[in-house]
Amino acid sequence: MIRGVFVFLHRWVGLLMTVFLVIVGVTGSLLAFNNELEHVFAPQLFAEPRPGEAQLDMATLAERAATLVPPHTRVTSVDLGARVIPVKMPPDQATIRFRAETNPETGKPYELGKPYEKGWGQFYVDPWTGAALGRPMSSDLSEGLINFMPFIYRLHYALALGSTGATILGIVAVAWTIDCFVGFYLTLPISLSGFWRKWKTAWLIKRKGGFFRLNLDLHRASGLWLWPVLFIFAWSSVGFNMRVVYDWAMTPLFEHGSPNGVKMIEHMKLPVKERHALDWRAAQAVGAKLIEEQGARQGFVVGEAWGLSYSEKGGSYHYMIHSGDPFFSPHCAASVDFDADTGDLLNVRSPAAAAPLGNEIRSWLFALHMAHVFGMPFRILVCALGLVITVLAATGVYIWWKKRNARIAQTLRAQTGAARPGRVEAAHTTI
């Protein structure tokens, strides 16, 4: 009885998830090599490397970007790290983000119009010169291949449907997580007699058993061998798209903590100010000084700076550096937050700081999902896993279709067999 319920759930939940799993599987395979593919599809967004020539610092890039942003906006961040983590290569692109300023007459942000209806935007600049490289319109494919990988990204995490698509994929992720356990249970032998001998066949693929048997073995054996990795990706997807469910399940089991210190949280409650005492150059100097002090105090490696951003909430800067090796840990960065007027330290994040177990688990889940650890070997595995997910979905549909046709044929045979005596009796009556 229980097994029958699980068979029903696995069959119909799997069928309902098929299209979505194929989409996230194929797009996930591409995103494992997002940086390389963007160089192929949108080479105009990357600068020509200049070996031996020093790149501009972040403050200079922010100052030059201020002349490139639309009217009534201000630069809010300079990011050199997106192209560096987890790929170890010199950044050939700097990301500039900007946001609409407040209109003093209305007290609301200026309306920027297309394509910045949401009041913010971003573009890329040459890290050696500060010259603009391009302004891709995110997932708008009407502009051509320049937006192909951003479209793939939006398709992967939200079906390119915004919050609605993200919610749909969040529900699918929850169903996928549950189905991981259901599918595993269904591979187990019904009886305990000769358990290991019987279960061993579920782990094997018989090449000479016919096309249906090949599909069945691929579906079952692939799911078993890759079960831990499939579960990690299913559950991390819940963490990305259905955070309320993730927190509901994980909070009672593991200790969690806020990544922001108490001072930072209180500071974010202060009124928004348009201008502060520290400009980009002063903020860069303060950030570098604070991170050096914290590195010496906490014992973490202070590497190259890769991000400087400004937050309007309370008025603070966020200064980020490389620290540690991304091959072995998701904690490969350190950062400080500080007051945009006084330069007072508000918060520190570093690999040396002991984090609650729940935070560690979440960091590892997200890093594994995005292939931000273990270098190229793991990225290849993630790419292959996307294809395996597609195969699991396709073989699942094929198995259902074949069994459905077999059940229909069996029902027809039963109906035909039951009808024959009646026809014979009627014929004898007529005679």
pLDDT of the residue at 87 = 44
Q: 284-289 contacts: CB < 8 A, separation 24 or more?
A: 284/57, 284/58, 284/59, 284/308, 284/319, 286/317, 286/319, 286/338, 286/343, 287/317, 287/319, 287/336, 287/338, 288/319
Residue with tokens 């573009």: 123
Residues near 204 by beta carbon (within 8 Å), at least 6 away in sequence: 217, 221
201-211 pLDDT tens trace: 999 988 787 88
Q: Residue 90 pLDDT more than 80?
A: no
pLDDT of the residue at 17 = 94
pLDDT of the residue at 138 = 64
Average pLDDT over residues 50-70: 92
pLDDT of the residue at 384 = 94
Of 11-20, 91-100, 334-343, 408-417, give the lowest mean pLDDT range.
408-417
Average pLDDT over the chain, rounded to an integer: 86
Of 53-57, 94-98, 139-143, 345-349, give the lowest mean pLDDT range.
139-143
pLDDT of the residue at 429 = 31
Task: Note whether 387 and 25 are within 8 A (CB).
Answer: yes
Average pLDDT over residues 177-196: 92
Residue 342: CB atoms within 10 Å: 12
pLDDT of the residue at 262 = 66
Percent of the chain with pLDDT over 70: 91
Which whole-number Å values give the CA distances from 35 to 41, 90, 138, 366, in the listed order? 10, 13, 15, 18
Q: Residue 19 pLDDT more than 90?
A: yes
pLDDT of the residue at 431 = 26
pLDDT of the residue at 137 = 61
Strand order in the sheet with 316-322: 132-134, 120-125, 94-100, 73-79, 305-311, 316-322, 333-339, 345-349
State the pLDDT confidence band at 378, using cuts at 50, 70 and 90.
Answer: very high
Q: Residue 85 pLDDT more than 60?
A: no
- Tell me the C-alpha distance between 43 and 257, whole Å: 41
155-175 pLDDT tens trace: 999 999 989 999 999 999 999
State the pLDDT confidence band at 144, using cuts at 50, 70 and 90.
Answer: confident
Q: In this structure, are strands 316-322 and 305-311 parallel, antiparallel, or unpaired?
A: antiparallel
pLDDT of the residue at 139 = 64
- Tell me the C-alpha distance between 98 and 94, whole Å: 13
pLDDT of the residue at 392 = 92
Which has the closest alpha carbon to 362: 181, 230, 176, 237? Answer: 237
State the pLDDT confidence band at 122, using cuts at 50, 70 and 90.
Answer: confident
pLDDT of the residue at 4 = 87
DSSP state of 298: H
Of 228-242, 254-268, 286-300, 383-397, give the lowest mean pLDDT range.
254-268
Residue 416: CB atoms within 10 Å: 9
Q: Residue 269 pLDDT more than 80?
A: no
- Domain locations in the chain? 1-42+138-252+376-431
State the pLDDT confidence band at 423, using cuts at 50, 70 and 90.
Answer: very low
- Tell me the C-alpha distance between 243 and 224, whole Å: 27
Q: Which of 67-81, 219-233, 261-275 has the highest mean pLDDT?
A: 219-233
For the entire predicted model, the pTM comes to: 0.84
Q: Is 192 helix (H, G, I), strand (E, B) or coil?
A: coil
Residues near 367 by beta carbon (within 8 Å), at least 6 away in sequence: 330, 373
- Tell me the C-alpha distance between 405 and 427, whole Å: 32
| Ranges assigned E (strand) in 299-394 | 305-311, 316-322, 333-339, 345-349
pLDDT of the residue at 64 = 95
Alpha helices in 76-161 (DSSP H): 148-158
